[in-house]
Chain A
């Protein structure tokens, strides 16, 4: 039971973004994927639910090769692996409650009242129940993120992917999102993969870190390995210094 990347390459035309990614995540783990902007972190996690196909290599979820299955079979995997997008990706035309109800209604054979009840319980879990009738455009980024998390949990996924969940949030909202992620891993035993630059979030929440650099997983390991690392690239990233050996796309 795990998500596994084996030598994943991904090219966009002549641009080689991933050149041999290897990593894995187990249920209950909180793997933070870190790295500079534009290095391919979001590209990496989009492979897990088949939003992108690798140019070569293997991506599997609980033994099923995501890169080999048809679009129809992908929908089965997507019920098992939820994703919270960077911009939340809530549907503008639906209220917050309807956003959470949508996947439940689509996939679980429940009566309308039960769908509503389950959605409201999820909104309550993320502290958004009193705003259930509002639309995404009527609330702030932090609240949208929380609703997106509620929606992602609606099908009781075994794994949840987060694309920069705390980016653009104030510190208080960011820490609330962190604690939601921790709850997910401990209470639901969900495997979480979190793309992030937020060092506070990373060091307070992660059980494991994978650093993407130059198209590969430069280092993967427990949080202590990063703390104690003497590697100049890792040191530079963690200290946020502008001078050092690290190459940054666009600079």
Chain B
């Protein structure tokens, strides 16, 4: 019984410690933004590395996700002749839910984990101390550019992903569900609204913020060499995924 209470207490303390650490990091990031004090070169480098290089994987994921949705729906579309619902269904689901959440998770897996591993390796090889020793603030040089890049790029990638997913849905609709492009487009354009797009993009911004903060925090707090880096990457991905799913619930609830 005593051990159980001790474990609960230890867990609670750890949770408080991690939450405090994340909030402290958030405070430092905000502090570095007013007035803006971050490295523009690193910012551009990260925009390219995190965003532009993610475009191919985002396109592939989005295209097939759009297609999968139509394949799943095609059984019922054919049975009930509901071709007029395909465009709406695909657009509504992609813009509001599937696009941001799937791309957010994909982004976390590709960019967030890479970011944690990179920062963690810099910690264990004393590169962060090296920066400090050169009188360069790691917050301004490394963290703020990464946080901003991730938020901006996930937002932009979600726009690209949304468009590609709709193209995929339309194409698979024509090929598999016998839905003409005209029928798809009519259904899509008449029923999907700007609010649906905005709904998804707000989520993308929040997910980008979650991935950036959790991955930077996990990377900067690495302890224990290569094993510690591996553990940190694992923690970052799991924390970001949980953060995305939980925040998605609250965002869906509050924005609907």
Contact = CB atoms under 8 A, between A and B. Distances in A.
Interface of A: 46, 49-51, 74-76, 78-79, 82-83, 85-87, 89-93, 102-103, 106-107, 151, 155
Interface of B: 45, 118, 121-122, 125-127, 129-137
Contacts of A85: 126, 129-130, 133
A82 B132 CA distance: 10
Nearest to B128: A89
Interface of B is mostly: helix
Contacts, number: 57
Contacts of A49: 132-133
Nearest to A103: B134
A103 B136 contact: yes
B129 A151 contact: no
Contacts of B131: 91
B127 A86 contact: no
B135 A103 contact: yes
Nearest to A106: B136
A89 B130 contact: yes
Contacts of B121: 92
Contacts of A91: 122, 127, 130-131
Contacts of B136: 75, 102-103, 106
A51 B132 contact: yes
A90 B125 CA distance: 9
A93 B130 CA distance: 14
A13 B137 CA distance: 27
B129 A51 contact: yes
Contacts of A102: 134, 136
B125 A87 contact: yes
Given A89-B126, A89-B127, A155 B133 contact: no
B134 A78 contact: yes
Contacts of A90: 127, 130
A102 B133 CA distance: 12
A133 to B, nearest CB: 17
A102 B45 CA distance: 15
A75 B140 CA distance: 13
